[in-house]
Amino acid sequence: MIVVLKPNISKKDEAAVIKEIKKLGYKPHIMRGVERTVIGAIGDELKHATLEVLGSWPQIEKVMPVQKRYKLVSREVHKATSHINVRGNIIGGKKFQVMAGPCSVESEKQLMTTAHAVAKAGATILRGGAFKPRTSPYEFQGLGEKGLKLLAKARKETGLAVITELLSEQHAEMVGEYTDIIQIGARNAQNFQLLIAAAKTGKPVMLKRGLSMRIEEWLLAGEYVLSNNNPNLMFCERGIRTFETYTRNTLDLSTIPIIKKESHCPIVIDPSQGAGRSDLVVAMCKGAAAMGADALIIEVHPNPAEAWSDGAQQLTLEGFKKFMEELPPYLAAAGREL
């Protein structure tokens, strides 16, 4: 159930509502807007008394049932797009954010060269995998903690915030200490214990869409983050597996208006994993920007031909710079700016 309070009610009246929700056996999830507060009451309505009785309280505007299986990620609960503050960079606001960097952190030189170049070109967040989810166990698995340390060093040198993937619950605390955003990869998008561990670090979480995940399943996976007391969730579309083999995955840009309609959580687009080919990445980035995505995450490497992972899809430093120069009109089409 969603309990909408009347505008500008007193703290005392709000506390009374919260107390009653708890008394009736529900967990209140409080969202304070500029004018009014909305409370998502989490609990099984089959096991507890209905909250509909609250509808007659003077401080309550309405009590609404939630028809959908997801609640806290839903736009019904929170009308405005959530703003996620990552070291002063707001994801979900008017300013568009670009996350860029190599698929994998390979060496200090590779990472620092890339970080300085993407920062200069206008990126605000540095991506780089330290723990890599490789299809084959014989491929480069990432530098682990050494990679995380290099990301932290690059942040210090450039001022960029950092996003990196969390692969395993056992590393949640460690990754949470180094990074500014935790990335949950496509292969782990329904690893619910990992989602809970990521949520509990308190860091913003970027949840990629699984390789064959339906949008409802993706939203429900996101629900695991919000229901574990972490409001800072963003979704990331990175392409799904279809019958098409021309591209690595099929980047589903319909998720931009769909996530915007269904959820208040920002939507990030990853055309690098989506296309799997660097020659398609720029066009897909521009399309995503014009369609109203909140941010992009793009793989960039000083020498893609020698990359230790995903060489075919990474932009060069020059390619990224040129793309950033071409981006503003596409953002303007969506009422955004860099």
**What mask, x for binding ligand PEP by CB under 6 A, covers residues 90 to 109?**
-------------x------
CA distance 285 to 297: 9
CA distance 209 to 317: 27
Strand order in the sheet with 27-32: 27-32, 37-42, 2-5, 60-64
Q: Which of residues 260-299 bind ligand PEP (CB under 6 A)?
A: 273
The residue range among 16-24, 88-96, 182-190, 224-232 that interacts with ligand PEP, by the rule CB under 6 A, is 182-190
What one-letter code names the amino acid at 50? T
**What mask, x for binding ligand PEP by CB under 6 A, covers residues 24 to 63?**
----------------------------------------
**DSSP 8-state class, residue 305:** G
Question: Contact between 142 and ligand PEP (CB under 6 A)?
Answer: no
Sole binder of ligand PEP in the list 122, 133, 144, 287 (CB under 6 A): 133
Question: Whose CB is nearest to ligand PEP?
Answer: 185
Return all residues near 102 (Cβ < 8 A) that are at least 6 apart: 110, 111, 114, 127, 128, 129, 299, 300, 301, 307, 314
The residue range among 88-96, 171-179, 184-192, 224-232 that interacts with ligand PEP, by the rule CB under 6 A, is 184-192
Residues that bind Mn ion (CB under 5 A): 103, 310
Nearer to ligand PEP, 30 or 312 (CB): 312
CA distance 168 to 171: 6
Q: How many helices (H) and strands (E) does the chain have?
A: 11, 14
Nearer to ligand PEP, 192 or 229 (CB): 192
Encoded tokens for 333: 């089409």
Question: Contact between 208 and ligand PEP (CB under 6 A)?
Answer: yes
Q: How far is the CB of 273 from ligand PEP (least distance, A)?
A: 4
CA distance 18 to 74: 20
